[in-house]
Structure formats: C-alpha cells, structure tokens
Structure 1
Amino acid sequence: MDNIDNYMKKQFPNIELKSPLFYNSPIAIRFDLGGDFFLEKEKVEKVLYRSLTLFNTLNNNMDDIYVVTFVDCWDENPISSVEEGLIKAINKVIKTDTEYKINKKEQEYRYKDDDDDEETVTFCYWTKIKVINLDVEELLRRKVYSAISEEEYKSIGDLFIINSSNNTIYHLYDERGLDIVSQKKETIMNLYKKFNKWILEYDRKRINEIFKNN
C-alpha cells in the first residue's frame, strides 16, 4: 500500500496528520524534548538526543516508513519559492540506490476555519522507503535547527514519519516536543516505561490513563 491517503484511511481512519496529533489520537504519548521557542544552541544536542533515541527505539532498520511533510502556501509565498529547497532537503536525507519517488499533492489548508483566506492551501510531499535508507539524525537536525534559523538547515516543513510495519506515527512538532501515536498501546508500551521521565508533565495524567491497565 504505497499511497499515504489509502494507508491512513485504513489504519488510522479518524486521525488527520496535523497538530495537535497527541490530543486527536486515542493511543499516544507526548514527550518533552527540553527545548523552547527561543532555543539556544546549548539545548540543541539535548533535543536531538531525545528525539533520535525515541525514533531508534520505536523503529527497526527494515521497517517500511512514509516520510511526509506539509507546506502551507499563499499568493505572497507560492510553493515555487520553497519547493526546490524542500526536494533537495528530502533527497539529502535519503540514502539508497533503490529508486524512490517523492510524491506531491495539493489539498485544502489543514487548519482552515471560517475566518481563513481561501487562497491559503497546503502541499503534501511524501515518499516510502526503509528506515535503514533514511539519515534520521540529519533529518531531525534540519527540523530542530530551523528553530534557531541556521542558514544551512532550512525547514523541512511539518514533518511526520509513519511506520507502516508497526503502524505508528512519529511527529516532531517543534523543538519543545514530539508526539508518538500507535494503533495499539502494546506497540509503544516500551517507550512509555523506558522513557517515562521524558513524558511531558502537563499531559502525564492523560497518558497514564491510556496505559494504566498494563
């Protein structure tokens, strides 16, 4: 099943890929990465360490994953102004001799409400590869460093990594934290137990309720 829409409809029919993913998912954990909106370089390595550790614990090298990113555009900021850089960034973090395709689709603005300008639209880019073929550390570094405006690390958009082998979703929403969603709580029970100290305190009660019977 290579189409991301078909996969989501079958495996996560009631979940849309947008923030706040944690609050819109029945089985999820929200982790504190230790960063903030004014991220200092001294905190970057902590954020990267936690995000990479959680990813590597959740995923196995031979798992199939969708790398998905969303970019919002409007007349003053057309997709043509960012697409080339985005495609280059995705290609840079994929390490494989096997042919792969970066798919693109235009869709309605994901956060649209009655007051939004009709001209704002969202573009989704996604590709399906093996975990082993993704330079995860470089991808997460690009996402985190975009928070402190490092020129060499352009933003890679609103990033989701979906594992179709264990049916989980990994969403590093910004330098403050990340959400991990699962189809079954048993799949992420190990994360809940092993990295319990990293759970965001604000949501700890809700998370404990999800896993309380185990």
Structure 2
Amino acid sequence: MDIKLEMPLFYRCPFGLRLEIGPATLGVWKDRDNFIYNEDYFDIARQRAVAIFESAFVPTDRISMVLQIYAYGRQKIHRSNYLFRQIKAVDAKVIKYSTRGDLYVEDRTNNRERWRRVTISQLQTRDIAYENLLHAMVNQDFSNRTPSLSGQLFFLNHDKQIVLNLYDDRGMDVVSLTRQPLEPLYQRHNTWILDRNREQIENRFNE
C-alpha cells in the first residue's frame, strides 16, 4: 500500500477523514485542580474509536499494524510491549523491525536520533484485540491511565486499501488513495467530522 506512514495522515493523502473522538464539549477534566478525569469523555472517546474501526475493518480483512516510536540512542521496541500482547498467536506472524532517521526532520545529520518501527503482518482483524489497542491509544497522553501505548500506531487494511491512525484522544485519521473505500465511513460518521476540517472534506467527497 503506497501510503507514507507519517502523521498527520490526513494532510498527506489525497482522500481522508479527520474525525472527532473525544468530544470537545465535555473536556478531559472533571476537576483539574484535584486531577480528577471526566470519565464520560474517555468512555465516549473509546466508543467512537471502536465504532469507526469496526466500520472500516471486518473480522476477515487482511491487515498489518505498524508501531513507530521516537528513540534516542539504543532505545528499541521490545517484545514485552503492550502491542504484542494484543495479538493472537503472535509468534506465528511476520514481525519486521526497522529504523528510520528521516521522519519529520530536515536535519538528518544526528545519527543517534531515530524512529524505531515494528511492522506486524499476515494478520486478520480477528487476530488482534483492537478494542484494547484503541483504548491504550486514547490514554497515551495521560501517564497515570492504563492501558497505555506510546508511539504512533497505524492499522493498514490491505483489502480495503485504508490506513487508520488514532493520533490521540481527540481525533482519528482514516485515509486512502481513492475516495471509494472511505465513502461508507463518510456517510456513517459524518457528524463526527472535525469542524475545522469539514469544509475541506466535504468539498473533496462532493466534487
């Protein structure tokens, strides 16, 4: 699939949806002074993330997952990572590690700064506990919430030619090189399109 896995995906692909996950009308905090979270916010964020995912992926779709982390020095993605524990029969899957030094930066002279990437392929959607993974990504910016998964996680649907990235608790990008795979999601989840991107998205889907 010829989609470059760099955030923000929405601005790097010809067709995409940018959808609101955590509702801005609620907000993260119930009592910020006492560090009490608004659990309704997180419940809705998880529910929306799962609903969109299940609109884009069915159990038998052939998929891959890519996790990349910003690393300095020898930091790596280890097999103890939460990601691996959410995959059935993970040892039977194809797991490939790679290192990239050219993501998001113009100065590529510092050889100690790298993006570590693991790509897990030969999966079907039913092989992964995607609800747990989406929950972990919703929590990633809140160090005292569990489960949590650090880094950038991309779900690649090879059958539908779609890439999905829950970039944080606020939003999710779903992209493709063509409009057709995204049409059902555009219709079904139209009310969740982020307001600041709505005009751009509607122009693209209605042109």
Q: With structure 2 as the length reference, what TM-score do the two structures score?
A: 0.85
Q: Which has the higher helix share?
A: 1
Number of residue pairs matched?
196
2:53 to 38, 55, 62: 55
Alpha-carbon shift at residue 107 of structure 1 (Å): 1.4
One-letter code aligned to 2:75: I
Alpha-carbon shift at residue 71 of structure 1 (Å): 0.8
Alpha-carbon shift at residue 116 of structure 1 (Å): 7.8
One-letter code aligned to 2:195: E
* Distance in 2 between residues matched to 1:18 and 1:177, nearest whole Å: 15
One-letter code aligned to 2:161: N
* Distance in 2 between residues matched to 1:151 and 1:175, nearest whole Å: 12
* Distance in 1 between residues matched to 2:138 and 2:48, nearest whole Å: 12
Alpha-carbon shift at residue 23 of structure 1 (Å): 0.9
- Contact 1:109 1:120 survives alignment (8 Å): no
**Are residues 1:66 and 2:59 paired?**
no
Q: Which has the higher strand share?
A: 2
1:105-161 CA deviation, whole Å, 9 max, x = no partner?
111141112398442111110111100111010111111122221364242420100
Identify the residue that residue 124 of structure 1 maps to in structure 2: 117
Q: With structure 1 as the length reference, what TM-score do the two structures score?
A: 0.83
Identify the residue that residue 25 of structure 1 maps to in structure 2: 13
* Distance in 1 between residues matched to 2:16 and 2:88, nearest whole Å: 29
Provide closer, same or farther for how the CA distance between residues 117 and 97 of structure 1 changes in structure 2, counting only shifts above 3 A.
closer
Alpha-carbon shift at residue 41 of structure 1 (Å): 4.3
* Distance in 2 between residues matched to 1:151 and 1:203, nearest whole Å: 29
Gaps of 5+ in 1: 1-7
* Distance in 1 between residues matched to 2:7 and 2:84, nearest whole Å: 25
* Distance in 1 between residues matched to 2:168 and 2:193, nearest whole Å: 15
**Are residues 1:202 and 2:191 paired?**
no
* Distance in 1 between residues matched to 2:189 and 2:152, nearest whole Å: 24
Residue identity over aligned pairs, in percent, reads 24
1:161-202 CA deviation, whole Å, 9 max, x = no partner?
000111000011111101000232121111111111100000
What are the residue-to-residue correspondences of 1:159-170 with 2, within 5 Å?
159-170=153-164
- Contact 1:171 1:179 survives alignment (8 Å): yes
Gaps of 5+ in 2: 30-36
**Are residues 1:183 and 2:177 paired?**
yes
* Distance in 2 between residues matched to 1:105 and 1:98, nearest whole Å: 18
RMSD: 2.3
Identify the residue that residue 95 of structure 1 maps to in structure 2: 88
Provide closer, same or farther for how the CA distance between residues 156 and 57 of structure 1 changes in structure 2, counting only shifts above 3 A.
same
